[in-house]
Amino acid sequence: MKRKITKVGPATLVVSIPSRIAKKYNLKKGDEVDVSEKNRKLIVQLKRADEKNKKKVISIDSYEKFMFRQITMLYVQGYDEIKIRFKNNKLLEKIEYILNQLIGFEIVNIDKNSILIKNIASENDGEFDVILRRLFLIIKLMGERCCDFLKDGNENELRKNIETEKLSNKYTYFCERILVKKGYKIAEKTNFMFAIVWTLEQVADSFFEISKILIDNEISLNETTKRLFIDIINVYTDYYNLYYDTDLSSMHKNKLKQDAIYNRIIKGRRRSTNYDPLFFHLISLIDKLKHLAQITF
């Protein structure tokens, strides 16, 4: 809606709040609001609402299989206090495992059949960019470990990806939580940033699954498959570099690389008569990287 600016005194400009909105949010004379600036937008935000912690009470005995999803989704949705009721005390250990992947969430009280979780960390807008870069880098590390295994068979390094995947979860959930609670610093890009973070986590999951396949199965990969995998890692590295230093010429080259790799995978699959457990993950990886490029640039 449009509102006219009026002047009070020699230097104060005033914009009135419509009575309908004032009644809806119970605004009255003397109340304080926060006014912030994003690009060419002036955002008026209720200070009371901004300071109020979101709270939730859940029971998990009947939905133990969905416990991880329940707790992580409440975290992502911006809840600051969660009371979890349960009858089976053995679930406490599983809850602690989940909380290890949620930055800022700690158990502050334990009763016989419930625990109270609170967010004890500050969440500044600037933290998003720091954690996002960490997410980029640990995914890059996961891919490099897979490549190193294909070159020299170093299984010890590859096994580290099992734990690193949990770290990628931690960074992903934190970034998503910041976007839900505060939005991105460029408001119009918030939805795109959420999609980027979500897709990056899918890339990490692919490297995790590939690592498990390589560890658990005695697979003899031909040189063509090894080369494909190394090229996919290079495409990811190119994307990471382009995200922080966009260049149209390099973007075009990266797109051509993606298409070429995709076609090589499809052609290789058509020629092969043997089951290749890595095929699905290779095609999935390049699809995710193509999607990342589409929503970023």
Rounded Cα gap, residues 153 and 128, in angstroms: 36
Pairing status of strand 81-85 against strand 55-59: parallel
Query: Taking phi first (over 0 means left), then psi (-120 to 50 degrees means alpha), and beta for anything else, what does residue 13 get?
Result: beta
Q: Which of 215, 244, 70, 220 is nearest to 157 (CA)?
A: 215
- The low-confidence residues of the chain, meaning pLDDT below 70, are 38-39, 47-52, 62-63, 271-276
How many folded domains does the chain comprise? 3
The closest alpha carbon to 172, from 205, 147, 137, 135, belongs to 135
Residues 26, 89: one domain? no
- For residues 81 and 196, membership in a common domain is answered with no
The length of the chain, given as a count of residues: 297
The answer on 131 and 63 residing in a single domain is no
Provide the b/e sequence for 190-214 (b: ≥16 CB within 10 Å): eeebbebbebbbebbbbbbbbbeeb
Q: How far is CA 211 from the centre of its chain?
A: 21
Are 291 and 223 contacting, i.e. CB atoms less than 8 angstroms apart?
A: no
Are 211 and 98 within one domain?
no
Q: Is 37 found in the same domain as 131?
A: no
**Pair (137, 237) in one structural domain:** yes
Co-location of 143 and 242 in the same domain: yes
Residues 45 and 60 in one domain: no
Are residues 138 and 229 both part of a single domain?
yes
Question: Which candidate, 156, 132, 130, 275, places its Cα nearest to that of 211?
Answer: 156
> Do 31 and 140 fall into the same domain?
no
Among residues 112, 214, 111, 114, the alpha carbon closest in space to that of 162 is found at 214
For residues 23 and 113, membership in a common domain is answered with no
Tokens matching residue 9: 């005194």
What's the pTM value of the predicted model, to 2 decimals? 0.82
Are the C-beta atoms of residues 221 and 142 closer than 8 Å to each other?
A: no
Instruction: Please report, for the domain that includes residue 156, its CATH number.
Output: 1.20.58.220
Which of 119, 135, 163 is the last residue before a domain boundary? 119
The whole-number pLDDT of residue 51 equals 52
**pLDDT of the residue at 60:** 86
Per-residue pLDDT tens for 78-137? 999 999 998 888 888 889 999 999 999 999 999 988 999 999 988 877 899 999 999 999
Q: What is the pLDDT of residue 50?
A: 46
149-156 own/partner pairs: CB under 8 Å, 24+ apart: 149/214, 150/214, 150/221, 150/226, 150/229, 150/230, 151/226, 155/215
**End residue of a domain, out of 14, 29, 51:** 51
Per-residue model confidence (pLDDT) at position 66:
86
Domain of residue 70, residue span:
55-119
For residue 177, what pLDDT is reported? 96
CATH code of 110's domain: 3.30.110.140
Measured CA to CA, the distance from residue 114 to residue 4 in angstroms comes to 53
Please tell me whether residues 154 and 174 are part of one structural domain: yes
Give the distance from CA 223 to its chain's centroid: 34
Rounded Cα distance between 72 and 101, Å, is 9
The two tokens of residue 200 are 């990056």
